[in-house]
Amino acid sequence: MTEKIVGNCPHCGKRLEIPGDLQEFSCLYCGQRTHIDLLRAQESFREEDLRELASQLPQTLREHSELFKHMNRQDYVPTFEAYEKEHSVLLRRVDLAVSSAPMGVNDATRLVCQVFMDTLSKDLKEVKGRRSSQLLYELKVAIALFLTPLVRKLNLRMAEPFRKELHSCWMEHYPNENWTAGDYDQIAGGFRRKGLCFITTATCAHEGKPDDCAELTAFRAFRDGWLLENGGAELIREYYDIAPSLVTLMEHCDTADRCYEEIRCRWLEPCLEALEKQEYSACKACYMDMVLTLKERYLQ
């Protein structure tokens, strides 16, 4: 008589009884495919082991306090690859434990994120003053642009629940420190694109304006005309390098709506007004102030 393996579906948590001679099966309730070994692993599952693994996850952040300095065209990919090499084993171990939890992937992932954030917040309570604010920013960069992209890139079973639950747990602890989980391919691809009006283009796109809207056309004409003819070539080259970094950090490590509203009101509208008055030097000065301010805020 064929052995029966009894356990809970790792995806929906429903109780199952599966013939032991199957290698894989589809859950009768949610339809998700699962390997029989995950049901077998539930027999030896211990919640304390899962909690112990979860408490190790902050080490994926602690030793990477200056990852924001590598958010550029040259450094991001090799830095991410080194990060992946260092932490993929631990993440796969957590994923295996989550997948074999009788409570199901979603509930187990929620537990992991709660333990992760409780452990991390205890460390942060010892940091005071300006350093605390800087450390929170550095952690957001590590989480949004390295850790959460990595769990998706590794195709872990817990990837999407982890990205969602970690953000939820983080916001419970630090409601004023928003971040958005990134995707490795999109971030790396963003650094390969070029365009002087990268920040302006991102602002207009965020507002639902087309790439050929009047203000983008005006800024590009200014770039290719007056600015280039008046010693702006080096400024243009520098902007090509820094703009993708600034946009990535604004969109993933801050509140994008607030950022783009500030850019619109504080810099773009005055720049456009200066162009309309043919006050080209004033437009250049305003745009340079924007880049310098954002650089000091996100990259230093």
Give the model's confidence band at 23: pLDDT under 50 very low, under 70 low, under 90 confident, else very high: confident
- Could you tell me which residues come within 8 angstroms of residue 60 by beta carbon, excluding any fewer than 6 positions away? 87, 90, 91, 142, 146, 147
Question: Is residue 177 packed enough to be buried (19+ CB in 10 Å), middle (13-18) or exposed (0-12)?
Answer: middle
DSSP states of 54-68: HHHTTHHHHT-TTGG
pLDDT band at 128 (very low <50, low <70, confident <90, very high): low
Q: What percentage of the chain reaches a pLDDT higher than 90?
A: 53
Q: Residues 180-239: pLDDT tens digits?
A: 999 999 999 877 765 445 888 899 999 999 988 988 999 999 998 999 899 888 888 888
Tokens of 150: 């990595």
- The pLDDT tens digits for 142-167 are 999 999 999 999 999 899 999 999 99
Check residues 284 and 39 and name the one with the higher pLDDT. 284
Percent of all residues in the chain with a pLDDT value above 70, rounded to a whole number: 93
Using CA atoms, how far apart are residues 90 and 49, in angstroms rounded to an integer? 13
Task: Enter the pTM of the model.
Answer: 0.82
For the chain, the structural domain boundaries read: 1-44, 46-182, 193-298
Tell me the β-bridge partners of 5.
18
Q: How far is 85 from 153, CA to CA, in rounded Å?
A: 12
**Beta strands, E only, 27-115:** 33-35
Q: What is the dihedral of CA 284, 286, 292, 293, to 10 degrees?
A: -170
- Confidence at 41, pLDDT banded by 50, 70, 90: low
| Tally of residues, the chain | 300
Predicted confidence band of residue 6 (pLDDT cuts 50, 70, 90): confident
State how far the Cα of 174 lies from the Cα of 166, in Å rounded to an integer: 12
Structure tokens of 5? 């393996």
